[in-house]
Structure 1
Amino acid sequence: LTDREVLVRLLGGDLRITWAENGHVFMEGPATFVFDGTVAI
């Protein structure tokens, strides 16, 4: 297994995954706009 923090290297940039003591999981990394659209309901 791993430590409570791991760095995942992806094409879009590094993603840091942190598993907190309380069980919550956090993902930190770059955010970019990838989609724009509408949905007719």
Structure 2
Amino acid sequence: MIKKLPESVIRIISSGQIASSPTAVLKELIENSLDANAKK
């Protein structure tokens, strides 16, 4: 039997905001900062 996921889970998956580990979160923050040419 296939069950539909809750809407909250669907939104998280579709936005790509699932963190697999704290290291992955840090990596994403650093990459976003570099992409945005952040100075601080």
Q: Same fold (TM over 0.5)?
A: no
Tell me the TM-score range normalised by the shorter chain. under 0.3
RCO (CA 8 Å, sep 6+): is it higher in 1 or 2?
A: 1
Give the number of the structure whose residues are more often helix, by fraction.
2
Give the number of the structure whose residues are more often strand, by fraction.
1
